[in-house]
């Protein structure tokens, strides 16, 4: 698994190969992230926002919203550069599982594996299915699933 160099522009459909793996940079979850996401989403559930309440709960501390982790995974995938300027549309999330809690101070990164690549001439590119494995600093998986996206063909840019 090799990270993409930071100066790589998005990959064209023809450059995606089944079995390819990429690892994103990391991102540490902060209290500000949780507070901001609660405000944005309207989800002020105590498991995210009430430290004293959480001391009496199974995890013993506040946990990040699952959808915050999913959003950060999306941002990390974008920041990798692999689809920068070449994505046509994000189409689907499949089989997304929240496996373990994410706490303030955890650093997440994403291991991305290409599972499928199918040409779709009518959209000017192809469809890719990627598997995302979102992991903490200790390599524990916290969430995983599959995303489908449409990617431009190199021929379209000529």
Residues 6+ apart with CB under 8 A from 45: none
Question: What are the tens digits of pLDDT across the range 3-38?
Answer: 544 444 799 999 999 999 999 999 999 999 999 999
Question: What are the tens digits of pLDDT across the range 118-127?
Answer: 999 899 999 9
Which pLDDT score, from 0 to 100, does residue 5 have? 42
Which pLDDT score, from 0 to 100, does residue 7 have? 45
Q: The whole model's pTM is what?
A: 0.89
Domains delineated in the chain? 13-157 (3.10.129.10)
Question: What are the tens digits of pLDDT across the range 48-99?
Answer: 999 999 999 999 999 999 999 999 999 999 999 899 989 999 999 999 999 9
Which pLDDT score, from 0 to 100, does residue 156 have? 59
* DSSP class per residue in 20-85: -EEEPPPEE--HHHHHHHHHHH----HHHH-HHHHTTSTTSS-B--HHHHHHHHHHHHHHTTTTTT
């Amino acid at each position: 698994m090799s990270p993409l160099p930071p100066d790589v522009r998005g990959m064209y459909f023809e450059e995606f190969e089944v079995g390819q793996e990429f690892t994103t940079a990391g991102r540490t979850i902060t209290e500000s992230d949780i507070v901001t996401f609660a405000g944005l989403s309207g989800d002020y559930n105590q498991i995210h926002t009430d430290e004293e309440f959480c001391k009496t709960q199974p995890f013993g501390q506040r946990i990040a919203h699952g959808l915050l982790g999913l959003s950060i995974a999306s941002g990390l995938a974008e920041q990798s550069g692999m689809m920068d300027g070449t994505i046509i549309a994000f189409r689907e999330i499949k089989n997304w599982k929240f496996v373990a809690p994410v706490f303030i101070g955890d650093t997440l990164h994403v291991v991305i594996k290409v599972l499928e690549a199918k040409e779709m001439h009518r959209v000017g590119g192809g469809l890719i299915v990627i598997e995302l494995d979102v992991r903490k600093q200790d390599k524990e998986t916290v969430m995983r699933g599959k995303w489908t996206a449409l990617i431009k063909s190199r021929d379209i840019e000529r």
